[in-house]
Amino acid sequence: MDDQNKERKSLGVVFPNTNKDNPKSYDLKGTITLPDGKKFRIGAYKAEASGTGKLPKGSTYYWMHRVEELELNSADTSFDPANLE
């Protein structure tokens, strides 16, 4: 089997939060898994570049506001968006 046909392991799912109930809610959120198996919940806000840094003026980027280890519930499981169909 060549490299392109190998199944790639999912390291998580991050998705845009398009139906925000609160304007302070994250614009991008999800769960990622590090190579050591630890899962983290992340949340980011959408911003627009001013043009004084590395990105051209008006470019969209997301700045991470939340990166915290995901806590397992009493059943020793967590919500994993990668398992959704």
pLDDT digits (tens, 9 = 90+) for 2-26: 556 677 778 899 999 998 889 999 9
Domain segments of the chain as ranges? 11-72
Q: Predicted confidence band at 68 (pLDDT cuts at 50, 70, 90)?
A: very high
- The neighbour count for residue 42, using CB atoms within 10 Å, is 19
Q: What pTM value is reported for the model?
A: 0.67
Average pLDDT for 59-82: 77
Write down the pLDDT at residue 56.
96
Residue 8 Cα distances to 3, 5, 11, 35, 65, angstroms: 10, 9, 9, 13, 28
Write down the pLDDT at residue 25.
93
CA distance 28 to 33: 16
